[in-house]
């Protein structure tokens, strides 16, 4: 089969032939239809310090995908050949304390599909049955391909109640925009999002935010004033990993406010913990999806009318992967999709 491979410990990817995957007893093989490009894939493609520490070449990359099950292992009981599935890219051990307690998203031994084992940027991918989310209702293939990052958004957005609350999201990347759409759909009173990219702020406006603020031209305090607020935001979702974003968020939270942090900082930075204490703020770290409560919530939300289609801005055939990665890297885009069907 054809696959995008990190062939050597150096920048770049190669589209090459690799052996077809074979299902183990508890695995399924999926014919890949669509994949989404993630920031993790950019790190691996460029071979930055994180990738050099984390990834062992050769490796088939990619973890955001949807496809059709074409083979099942002898112990597979629920997933059937012909099922349309999205893949949960976190491969958990099943034997640690959290896994045994049903808290699989907290598994300390988590391995990443397309990071620690061969991934989904290929015509076929193999994964454990428990990692295959079967779509029981009709779903757009492009949307199904990005269930992984949509899950990050839903997990973050629903970590705290948002009905009637004033919500601040810092970072209008695709996940931040999807989180804004979820918060709006779930009944938030005001949803404000910040970034420095006018292109991405415009995408956020398309999903119905009340205010999309360019923080190169204004402050979060300005956002409060524009929305007629006086006591701060009730719920914060930090998606950027930027020190200034978290500090501005803390400074503009209401007393008793709650912050969910998905953005991963590149390095350590100081935080005004005096304000955290005096305002009695709750701060929660978010990593991935709750397996599989978040997946259930995603399907229900989409069935109830949640529309994230504005976030998907570019589509390429997999043979155009160089253009697709370049488009993703330059930033004037939302989610970029690769089509793995033969044209």
Residue 177, marked binder = no
Which residue in the list 40, 110, 194, 328 is annotated as catalytic? 40
For residue 17, give the H/E element and its range: strand 14-17
Residue 263 labelled as part of a binding site:
yes
Contact in structure between 44 and 51 (CB atoms under 8 Å) = yes
The answer to whether the annotation marks 64 as part of a ligand binding site is: yes
3-state SS assignment for residue 271: coil
Distances (CA, A) of 274 to 250, 277, 279, 340: 10, 5, 8, 51
Among residues 99, 114, 88, 106, which one has the least CA distance to residue 28? 88
Catalytic hit among 8, 16, 35, 43: 43
The reply to whether 308 sits in an annotated binding site is no
What gap in Å lies between CA 148 and CA 144, rounded to an integer? 9
Is 107 within any annotated ligand binding site? yes
Name the DSSP class of 91: E
Residue 287 among known ligand-binding residues:
yes
Helix (H, G, I), strand (E, B) or coil at 258: strand
* Residue 286 assigned to a binding site: yes
Which candidate, 128, 118, 147, places its Cα nearest to that of 38?
147
The answer to the question of whether 262 is labelled as a binding residue is yes
Contact between 42 and 325 under an 8 Å Cβ cutoff? The reply is yes
CA dist 34 and 146 (Å) reads 9
Interior CA angle at 317 toward 112 and 178, to 5°?
A: 55
Asked whether the beta carbons of 27 and 64 are under 8 A apart, the reply is no
- Does the annotation flag 296 for ligand binding? no
d(CA 205, CA 218): 17
Q: Is 195 annotated as a binding residue?
A: yes
Rounded Cα–Cα distance for residues 285 and 300 (Å): 24
Determine whether 43 is an active site residue: yes
Element (H, E) at 68: strand 64-72
**282 tagged catalytic:** no
Does 200 belong to an annotated binding site?
yes
Distance CA 133, CA 120 (A): 15
306: number of CA atoms within 13 Å, CB side?
A: 25
Question: Is position 281 annotated in a ligand binding site?
Answer: no
Residue 333 annotated as lining a ligand binding site: no
Binding residues for NAD(+): 175, 195, 200, 262-264, 286-287
Binding residues for Zn(2+): 38, 63-64, 93, 96, 99, 107
Which sequence positions are flagged as catalytic?
40, 43
Give the annotated binding-site residues.
38, 63-64, 93, 96, 99, 107, 175, 195, 200, 262-264, 286-287
């Amino acid at each position: 089969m054809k696959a995008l491979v990190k062939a050597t410990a150096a920048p770049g990817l190669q589209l090459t032939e690799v052996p077809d995957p074979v299902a183990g007893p508890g695995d399924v093989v999926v014919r890949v239809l669509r994949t989404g490009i993630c920031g993790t894939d950019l790190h691996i493609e460029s071979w930055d310090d994180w990738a050099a520490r984390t990834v062992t070449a050769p490796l088939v990359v990619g973890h955001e995908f949807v496809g059709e099950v074409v083979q099942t292992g002898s112990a597979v009981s629920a997933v059937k050949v012909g099922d349309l599935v999205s893949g949960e890219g976190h491969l958990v051990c099943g034997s640690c304390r959290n896994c045994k307690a049903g808290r699989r998203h907290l598994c300390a031994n988590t391995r990443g599909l397309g990071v620690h084992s061969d991934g989904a940027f290929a015509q076929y991918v193999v994964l454990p049955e428990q990692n295959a989310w079967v779509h029981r209702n009709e779903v757009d293939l492009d949307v199904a391909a990005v269930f992984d990052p949509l899950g990050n958004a839903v997990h973050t957005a629903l970590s705290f109640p948002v009905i009637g609350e004033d919500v601040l999201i810092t970072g209008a990347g695709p996940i931040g925009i999807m989180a804004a759409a979820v918060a709006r759909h779930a009944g938030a009173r005001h949803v404000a999002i910040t970034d420095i990219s006018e292109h991405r702020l415009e995408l956020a406006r398309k999903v119905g935010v009340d205010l999309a603020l360019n923080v190169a031209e204004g402050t979060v305090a300005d956002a409060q004033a524009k929305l007629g607020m006086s006591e701060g935001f009730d719920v914060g979702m930090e998606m950027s990993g930027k020190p200034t974003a978290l500090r501005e968020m803390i400074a503009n939270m209401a007393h008793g406010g709650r912050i969910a942090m998905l953005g991963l900082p590149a390095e350590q930075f100081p935080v005004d913990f005096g304000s955290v204490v005096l305002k009695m703020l709750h701060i929660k770290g978010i990593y991935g999806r709750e397996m599989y409560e978040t997946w259930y919530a995603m399907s229900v939300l989409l069935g109830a009318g949640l529309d994230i289609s504005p976030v998907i801005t570019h589509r390429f055939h997999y043979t155009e992967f160089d253009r697709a990665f370049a488009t993703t890297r330059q930033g004037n885009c939302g989610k970029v999709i690769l089509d793995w069907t033969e044209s």
